[in-house]
């Protein structure tokens, strides 16, 4: 499927590296997995791959907004920040760090010229094979749930991939 | 890789051009 032989071999080598030759860092997987992702989900076909993508939490407009007063609503909501998945998030003008940002290793999206219209196709989290599988599965499930809550997906839904060393789990 | 290829095919069918 267009994935070069050397890259297939490299992935195979990573999978077969075992406990002793296993890469020290999960980042050793990033390049090869990014390579495979971009080979299949090409820019030409309308996809984009986001490394360390951010899933921001949905927030309601400021509490100072009084329901029923449309002028007040519009002036306050215009200050809200909109994510690339069209989620109303905390405005940048609010002081302090934004709470609860999730950051999966990669997100594969259907993109477009709009800054707020990305649709999530895959969420990929990569861990070394010796890491806690249960914790990792909880983490990716949390990411998928947050992604689903954005509604930014096509009818075929969102798939989470947990790469745990030589094994990949589909969520 | 096969998973990716299958899903891409599926997406290209429903994706607006």
The position carrying tokens 């999960």 is: A26
Residue-wise pLDDT tens digits, A26-58: 889 999 999 999 999 999 999 999 999 999 888
CB contact under 8 A, A156 and B4: no
Q: For Cα atoms A83, A85, A91, give the angle at the middle one, nearest 5 degrees.
A: 15
A147 vs A95, residue with greater confidence = A147
- Pick from A100, A116, A125: which is nearest to A152 by CA? A116
Please determine, for residue A125, whether its predicted confidence score (pLDDT) is greater than 90: yes
Residue A80's φ and ψ, nearest 5 degrees, are -70, 155
Gap from A132 CA to chain B (nearest CA, Å):
24
Q: Which of A1, A46, A121 sits opposite B5 (nearest CB)?
A: A1
A1 in B contact zone (CB under 8 Å): yes
Specify the pLDDT at position A100: 83
CB A160 within 8 A of CB A123: yes
Structure-token pair, residue A124:
């990929």
Closest of A154, A91, A10, A97 to residue B8, by C-alpha: A154
The reply to whether residue B1 touches residue A1, judged by beta carbons under 8 angstroms, is yes
Q: What are phi and psi of A20, to 5 degrees?
A: -85, -35
Q: Which two tokens stand for residue A36?
A: 């495979």
């Amino acid at each position: 499927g267009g994935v070069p032989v050397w890259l297939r071999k490299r992935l195979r080598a990573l999978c077969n590296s075992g406990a002793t030759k296993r890469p020290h860092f999960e980042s050793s997987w990033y390049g090869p997995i990014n390579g495979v992702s971009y080979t299949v989900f090409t820019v030409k076909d309308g996809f984009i791959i986001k490394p360390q993508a951010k899933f921001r939490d949905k927030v309601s407009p400021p509490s100072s907004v009084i329901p029923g007063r449309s002028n007040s609503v519009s002036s306050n909501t215009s200050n809200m920040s909109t994510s690339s998945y069209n989620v109303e998030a905390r405005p940048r003008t609010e002081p302090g760090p934004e709470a609860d940002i999730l950051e999966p290793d990669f997100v594969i999206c259907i993109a477009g010229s709009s800054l707020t219209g990305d649709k999530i196709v895959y969420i990929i989290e990569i861990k070394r094979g010796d890491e806690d599988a249960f914790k990792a599965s909880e983490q990716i499930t949390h990411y998928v749930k947050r992604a689903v809550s954005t509604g930014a997906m096509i009818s075929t839904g969102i798939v989470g991939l947990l790469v745990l060393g030589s094994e990949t789990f589909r969520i | 890789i096969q998973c990716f290829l299958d899903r891409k095919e599926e997406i290209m069918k429903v994706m607006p051009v």
